[in-house]
Amino acid sequence: MPNESQIGQRLDRLEEHLKQENPILQDVVQSFRKLDIIGHSIGFLDHEESFATRTPWWPLISILGTYSSGKSTFINTYLGYKLQATGNQAVDDKFTVISYSPDESVHILPGVALDSDPRFPLYGIGQAIEKAAPGQGKHVDSFLHLKTCPSTKVKGKILVDSPGFDADAQRTATLRITDRIIDLSDLVLVFFDARHPESGSMRDTLKHLVQDTTKRKDSNKFLYILNQIDVTAKEDNPEQVFAAWQRALAEHGLTAGQYFSIYNPDVAVPIEDEAIKGRFERKRDRDLDQINKRIEEVRVERAYRIVGMLEESAQYLKSSLTPQITSFLRSWRRQVVVAELVIAAAVIILLGAGSLYFHGLSGLASLAGLPNKIASDRWLQAGSVIVLLLLIWSHFTLRRSIGRRLIAKTVNAIKDAPLKTRMQRILNRNIRWWRSIFCSQPTGLNSSKQEHLEVIIADARQYIQKLNDTFTNPSGSAQEKGEAATSAWSNERDGEQN
């Protein structure tokens, strides 16, 4: 089918890219292909989908935060290229996805370039926008765009610069995109402005970007950065400002995480006292070094995340979805059998009671001899065929009705909209008329396919071992907690005094 060939072509291009960059992940693509076969056979995936395209394969770093918190300046400094416009007020109200291009000219492409390309992290975002804000999904270009950049610092990874959060209520679609970006990101840098630590923008950011992260399993991918800390140099009170900022985070439930304080020397306020200047610079350089290390390690983390997604997807089909379908089939079979036994018993009782009432005991005897009469009477035989056909029609009507009712009950209990659609499709396949109600195995998931799932899970674990062999210290500083900033400032001060 054309759509299947399109998916195959995308996976072929992905494999070709990974052949040089990461051969281990090239093998992982093959495992995803095998998993896709199972996903299509049971109905979890439609013909346009692949497990491999449900997440971007390029490492993704998102930069979120308040207006004037220095996000764009940080990006430009990191890239070594003046790509983003900077300023104290909002300078861009769109999400900017930054990708490498060898072309020296910067190209700004419309949001549809991201919405329609599964290699990028916001593939299909138009549908998500439409669900959040009906009528806005077709206006993807109003929410995001793609910028190319010749800086080799972004080669092999993707950066996302968000529009700043302000104190006003955010558009629902913007928040939906933010949530999508956070879910897909390998690293999230959340910026705050040290010049306005108590502004409405900070409170809004805390509400939308901090409060929801406390319950996430991947909360360690968030780095909280208090930028432009150089404004405290005149009063020499960075400890107090930083501590107040941490207390604000704690009030929203964030008591753990990595905290940094930095500033850009190109736009910093002059620091005349050399001792204070040196202390600020050492702290800034140390924190920037840790941030940059985390950025550079996302490629390693992404490799582990992709392999983990492979195993998680296979485990879901095996340990979660299969039992759900099997339980549904048991309920369906039991209700159909019980309903038909009740109907059959009711018919027999009514026939017996009618014969007894109208003809007495002789009527019961006549009813018992009905099979012999049918065998010798062609008209009764023809009538029996008609009755049999009606019984078959009744059986399939009854099982379809019970199946649809059970499907509606099962689907309505699911909160996730995409999963609702998938489960509807899967269960409808399992009640097709040619499937026996006594078949206990889900459609498309026979014993052979279940063995294939086991092989895929085992392969995923082998890939993890290969990654461990490739990276002698795969977690590295990515798992190290940053030194508490207040303590760091104090240590610097103590060292100067000594």
Three-state DSSP at 146 gives strand
Please give the share of the chain, as a percent, with pLDDT higher than 70. 79
Q: Are 224 and 257 in contact (CB under 8 A)?
A: yes
What pLDDT is attached to residue 416? 84
Over residues 323-350, the pLDDT tens digits come to 999 999 999 999 999 999 998 898 878 7
pLDDT tier at 376, thresholds 50, 70, 90? confident
pLDDT tier at 159, thresholds 50, 70, 90? very high
Q: Are 290 and 461 in contact (CB under 8 A)?
A: no
Domain with CATH 3.40.50.300 in the chain: 55-296+476-497
Pick the CATH number of 55-296+476-497 from 2.20.25.240, 3.30.70.20, 3.40.50.300, 3.30.750.24: 3.40.50.300
pLDDT for residue 315 is more than 90: yes
How far apart CA 210 and CA 349 sit, in angstroms, is 68
Residue with the bigger pLDDT between 65 and 375: it is 65
pLDDT tier at 217, thresholds 50, 70, 90? confident
What pLDDT is attached to residue 339? 94
pLDDT tier at 365, thresholds 50, 70, 90? low
Task: Identify the bridge partners of residue 96 per DSSP, sorted by sequence position.
Answer: 145, 161
306-316 b/e (C-beta count within 10 Å ≥ 16 → b)? bbebbbebbee
How far apart CA 209 and CA 189 sit, in angstroms, is 10
70-99 b/e (C-beta count within 10 Å ≥ 16 → b)? bbbbbbbbbbebebbebeeeeebebbbbbb
What pLDDT is attached to residue 168? 47
Residue with the bigger pLDDT between 478 and 176: it is 176
pLDDT tier at 318, thresholds 50, 70, 90? very high
Nearest to 287, CA basis, from 233, 250, 242, 252:
242
Say what the alpha-carbon torsion angle 289, 292, 294, 300 is, to the nearest 10 degrees: -130
* Average pLDDT of the segment spanning 37-49: 90
Over residues 81-121, the pLDDT tens digits come to 888 877 555 456 788 889 888 888 888 888 888 777 766 77
448-477 b/e (C-beta count within 10 Å ≥ 16 → b)? ebeebbeebbebbeebbebbeeeeeebeee
Q: Are 28 and 5 in contact (CB under 8 A)?
A: no
Residue with the bigger pLDDT between 495 and 173: it is 173
Residue with the bigger pLDDT between 316 and 5: it is 316
Three-state DSSP at 159 gives strand
Question: Taking all residues of the chain, what is their mean pLDDT, rounded to a whole number?
Answer: 80
Residue 402 exposed, middle or buried by CB count within 10 Å (0-12, 13-18, 19+): buried
* Average pLDDT of the segment spanning 344-368: 71
Tokens of 258: 């990595």
Tokens of 108: 């700004």
Q: How many residues does the chain have?
A: 498
DSSP for 344-409? Answer: HHHHHHHHHHHHHHHHTHHHHHHHHTHHHHHHH-HHHHHHHHHHHHHHHHHHHHHHHHHHHHHHHH
What pLDDT is attached to residue 498? 45
Over residues 394-410, the pLDDT tens digits come to 999 999 999 999 999 99
What pLDDT is attached to residue 473? 52
Beta-carbon contacts of 323 under 8 Å, excluding residues fewer than 6 positions away, are: none
Residue with the bigger pLDDT between 405 and 354: it is 405
Over residues 181-196, the pLDDT tens digits come to 888 888 999 888 887 6
Rg, C-alpha atoms of the chain: 32
pTM as predicted:
0.71
Pairing of strands 60-65, 187-193: parallel
